[in-house]
């Protein structure tokens, strides 16, 4: 049996609509299910000809010049996929064991941006079969204190994020928030969320468009 891994991923984008905006930074934290951090991934991305809203510039501080210096987003996502492959489970007869869970804060939003890149580059969506969202988990675990904002959840758990809206820092904060949530929840409740999220993302990556709610 392969070890289970959690990979927290955060994106900075040029806007909130993936049909006209794109990814300008990807950060990822690779860790174990019990909270140990193993590795990191971070890189700026050139999203190509997309809309870059004033609000996005204000929030993430990116400039046109910084984007021009970056590699194409397709190349960066391909490298992220290679790093994910390192943690893929062992081959079990006719298929690989799925032992990697992708973790996002507002997963539908981030996956709404990753989905077109994966399709353009024909990358295997194997890892999207197990996706969790800290927004969904927080709603189930700490409903009386529920907040959609990552910074507020970090504050609730007395975690420090020294650079909000930096993809790597936010990915690390998401990973830490998830670990805190896991500490205060029963395993059966988390299992129900895993099943719900898995079904949701099976539908999302089907040909039928899936609605993308916005949560920042």
The CATH number given to 5-204 is 3.30.420.10
Give the highest mean pLDDT range of 14-23, 84-93, 126-135: 14-23
Decide if 129 contacts 121 (C-beta within 8 A): no
pLDDT (average), residues 137-155? 81
Give all strands (DSSP E) within the chain, no chain letters.
5-13, 23-32, 37-46, 71-72, 91-92, 95-96, 100-104, 131-133
- Percent pLDDT > 70 in the chain is 79
pLDDT for residue 114: 96
How many CA within 13 A on the CB side of residue 104?
Answer: 22
Distance of CA 5 to the CA centre of its chain: 14
Q: Nearest-CA neighbor of 119 among 69, 73, 83?
A: 73
- Terminal Cα-to-Cα distance of the chain (whole angstroms): 37
pLDDT (average), residues 70-87? 96
- pLDDT digits over 155-208, tens only? 888 898 777 779 999 999 999 999 998 887 655 455 555 555 555 544 443 333
- pLDDT digits over 107-117, tens only? 999 999 998 99
Decide if 98 contacts 128 (C-beta within 8 A): no
- Domain borders along the chain are 5-204
Residue 119 pLDDT grade (very low, low, confident, very high; cuts 50, 70, 90): very high
* Whole-number Å distance between alpha carbons of 44 and 46: 7
């Amino acid at each position: 049996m392969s070890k289970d891994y959690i990979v927290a991923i955060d994106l900075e984008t040029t806007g909130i609509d993936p049909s006209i905006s794109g990814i300008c930074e990807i950060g990822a934290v690779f860790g174990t299910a019990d909270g140990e951090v193993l590795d990191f991934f971070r890189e700026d991305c050139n999203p190509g000809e997309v809309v870059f809203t004033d609000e996005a510039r204000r929030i993430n501080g990116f400039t046109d010049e910084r984007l021009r210096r970056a590699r194409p987003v397709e190349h960066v996502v391909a490298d992220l996929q290679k790093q994910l492959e390192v943690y893929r489970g062992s081959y079990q007869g006719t298929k690989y064991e799925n032992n990697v869970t992708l973790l996002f804060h507002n997963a539908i939003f981030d996956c709404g941006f990753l989905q077109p890149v994966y399709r353009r580059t024909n990358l295997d969506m194997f890892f999207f079969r197990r996706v969790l969202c800290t927004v969904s988990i927080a709603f189930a675990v700490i409903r009386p204190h529920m907040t959609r904002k990552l910074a507020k959840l970090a504050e609730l758990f007395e975690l420090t994020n020294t650079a909000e809206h930096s993809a790597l820092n936010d990915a690390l904060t998401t990973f830490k928030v998830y670990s805190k949530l896991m500490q205060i929840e029963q395993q059966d409740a988390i299992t129900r969320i895993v099943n719900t999220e898995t079904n949701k993302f099976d539908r999302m990556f089907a040909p039928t468009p899936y609605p993308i709610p916005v949560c920042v």
